[in-house]
Structure 1
Amino acid sequence: MDIAQLGDRVLAGERRALARAITLVESSRADHRAQAAQLILDLSRKNDAQAIRIGLSGTPGVGKSTFIESFGMMLTAQGLRVAVLAVDPSSTRSGGSILGDKTRMERLSRDPNAFIRPSPSQSHLGGVARRTREAVALCEAAGFDVVLIETVGVGQSETVVAEMSDLFILLLAPAGGDELQGVKRGIMEMADIILVNKADGDLKSAAMRTCADYAGALRLLRKRPQDPEGYPRAMTVSALEENGLDKAWEDMQALVTWRREMGHFAGRRAEQAQYWFGEEVRHGLLAQLEREPLKGMMQALGARVAKGEVTPTIAADEIMALLGRS
């Protein structure tokens, strides 16, 4: 594979080249990893464009795909180019996934100004795939103005997406039945904007009440230095009827503009780069456990732990000592 040629085609905005580049960065083969690292480095030197990275999370059934399609269509109608990186849950047995997000966004997938890429989460925790951040960088290099990162949608631990996005949007359903969720830590305090979806039909009044509950809950959280007055905030939207989407986009743009002017935007991206450096080191250390001789030692110690000959803590300390000497 000619990496330089592939990089030039990505910079030219060729969709097939972008898809091929994302496939390359998602590969775990050693030679592909080296090529992917070179590609990302080359693109970073040739391109300094910064798309607005928007992370989207929410429980299954809240309407993330419907929202993304309606929101994406609104943005492309304004002349913006939109990339969607949708992460689907993977089977713990086979590692496969259905990757059904693209089929659910039928209108957006046909839009020439949109690009949708579903990826399996595999064994990575936090609601995103391990290489999603690199895929975001590729989409920026390809000239997309907005990159939407849709997480798996499995619960309150989905905060990793906040480490690769400029805005973290939390989608909630009306009348969830547990108002206590509004004051829980974790995903709530990471959100920049909370959108209560499905504010239409019989659920409209329930959505308004839910929005008011969460707006009150947000006022109880400690104020963050990267937020202007009035943020984080909660509002209602209807992805089905496409109501409230323009107001949500205005608030997102206002928050990004304020953060750019106050220096928080660049500072946050620098912090994220440092975070992912640490993650790469941790993944590298864990990968050593899958290679000999540590793999064989792990199996032997695991058998002794199973027989009760040694405690898990002592066995783990032995492995850690071996890692320290390697």
Structure 2
Amino acid sequence: MQAGILRGERRALARAITLVESGRADHRGDAIALLQGLKDADHGREALRIGLSGTPGVGKSTFIEAFGMMLTGRGLKVAVLAVDPSSARSGGSILGDKTRMERLARDPRAFIRPSPSQSHLGGVARRTREAIELCEAADFDVILIETVGVGQSETVVAELSDLFVLLLAPAGGDELQGVKRGIMEMADIILINKADGDLKATATRTCADYAGALRLLRKRPQDPEGFPKALTVSAIEEAGLAQAWDEMQALAEWRRETGHWAARRAHQARYWFEAEVREALLSTLKREPVKGAMARLAGAVEAGDLTAAAAAEELLTTYLQRPPQSGTGGT
């Protein structure tokens, strides 16, 4: 499988992503070995990772298809990792981006992979980071990571990407207030979509509003003069896409030259190491004997026999080998 990925074989890449997304313990071991093998191969490939989020109904899929077609038309290989909302019943994807990006899905220079978000917060699937590494090893030039939609936790996608693009629809000041400040501070470029027809003038005004709001935010060391910035685009008319791409390239190049690119990726690697450790520790709570102990202690707390603090202390010291904390205990 590793050799197939390095040769850019789509079937090998699809199988590898299925492997890293699997929840089976034996598959997890194989996935870790595959990822380490690709790293040891030192393929030296580095894609531009672009995280994309936006308000519901803003036209993310329409934009990605138009933007992706423009990039493939310039000879670039584009991978789209689209994180769909999960079905509460089956856990699978509800929307299915391949059905919403038919032209791009047929393009031989493009690869689209929808993944269910399941219960993972942050608008991205838990293994999206590893899927990105696989696409990079398969020699894709641009990787677009589409999140579920704007929310307070959507900023996690900034820890996956080199550039974070926020896509918004033409609107008045109400929408400006509705977007969380955190995601505004994370965005490198804000694109006002649907700047066409009757909405063109509104989009221009909205763009000016956001540009003014961006100037009020604190200057970030990873930005050159003029960034972050707001631009208008029309995915339907394919207007403004080339300018948006030029701005993305200019920002990425500046960050490479000034060392911010490498520093950001190093920070992200540490972030995901720590996240992986946290996830592994939390997963022990779902396995026996800890799972049964939690149920027993929860029943004692519910019955009023133990305080929540005392029950938690017993669980941690007895089953998770944490040293007892001084001054704790009792009922």
**TM class by shorter-chain length?**
over 0.9
Q: After TM superposition, give the deviation of residue 179 of structure 1 in Å.
A: 4.7
Match of residue 225, structure 1, among 206, 221, 224 = 221
- Written as runs of structure 1 = structure 2, the 5 A alignment for 1:132-143 is 132-143=128-139
- Written as runs of structure 1 = structure 2, the 5 A alignment for 1:100-249 is 100-175=96-171, 178-181=174-177, 184-249=180-245
Residue number in structure 2 paired with 1:34: 29
Please report the RMSD computed on the Cα atoms of aligned residues, expressed in angstroms: 1.6
Structure 1: state its 5+ residue gaps. 1-5
Residue number in structure 1 paired with 2:17: 22
Match of residue 309, structure 1, among 305, 309, 313 = 305
Q: Deviations over 1:6-45 (max 9, x none)?
A: 0000110110110000000101111111111111111112
**Which amino acid in 1 is paired with 2:10?**
R
Structure 2: state its 5+ residue gaps. 324-331
Asked if 1:8 corresponds to 2:3, the answer is yes
Asked if 1:92 corresponds to 2:88, the answer is yes
User: TM-score normalised to the size of structure 2?
Assistant: 0.93
CA contact 1:183–1:217 (8 Å) conserved in 2: no
**Which amino acid in 1 is paired with 2:322?**
R
Of the structure 1 ranges 178-187 and 234-243, higher mean CA displacement relative to structure 2 is found in: 178-187
Q: Deviations over 1:184-216 (max 9, x none)?
A: 421110000000101111111111111111111
Residue number in structure 1 paired with 2:296: 300
**Which amino acid in 2 is paired with 1:17?**
A
Higher gyration radius (CA): 2
**Which amino acid in 1 is paired with 2:7?**
A
Structure 1 residues 175 and 183, CA, compared in 2 at 3 Å: closer, same or farther? closer
Aligned length: 321
**Which amino acid in 1 is paired with 2:12?**
A
| Runs of 4+ residues deviating >2 angstroms | 91-94, 96-99, 179-185, 304-326
| Distance in 2 of aligned mates of 1:290 and 1:271 | 30
Of the structure 1 ranges 108-117 and 308-317, higher mean CA displacement relative to structure 2 is found in: 308-317
**Which amino acid in 2 is paired with 1:209?**
R
Q: Aligned with 1:55: secondary structure?
A: strand
Q: Aligned with 1:281: secondary structure?
A: helix
Structure 1 residues 35 and 156, CA, compared in 2 at 3 Å: closer, same or farther? same
CA contact 1:57–1:152 (8 Å) conserved in 2: yes
Asked if 1:275 corresponds to 2:271, the answer is yes
Of the structure 1 ranges 40-49 and 19-28, higher mean CA displacement relative to structure 2 is found in: 40-49
| Distance in 2 of aligned mates of 1:48 and 1:185 | 36
Q: After TM superposition, give the deviation of residue 291 of structure 1 in Å.
A: 1.2
| Distance in 1 of aligned mates of 2:150 and 2:299 | 33
Q: Deviations over 1:217-247 (max 9, x none)?
A: 1111111110000000011100011000000
Structure 1 residues 309 and 162, CA, compared in 2 at 3 Å: closer, same or farther? same
Q: Aligned with 2:263: secondary structure?
A: helix
CA contact 2:87–2:94 (8 Å) conserved in 1: no
| Distance in 1 of aligned mates of 2:180 and 2:135 | 34
Q: After TM superposition, give the deviation of residue 182 of structure 1 in Å.
A: 7.5
**Which amino acid in 1 is paired with 2:250?**
A
Q: After TM superposition, give the deviation of residue 183 of structure 1 in Å.
A: 7.9
Identity rate, percent: 74
Of the structure 1 ranges 308-317 and 282-291, higher mean CA displacement relative to structure 2 is found in: 308-317
Residue number in structure 2 paired with 1:49: 45
Residue number in structure 1 paired with 2:322: 325
Structure 1 residues 122 and 73, CA, compared in 2 at 3 Å: closer, same or farther? same
Residue number in structure 2 paired with 1:74: 70
**Which amino acid in 1 is paired with 2:129?**
R
**Which amino acid in 2 is paired with 1:298?**
M
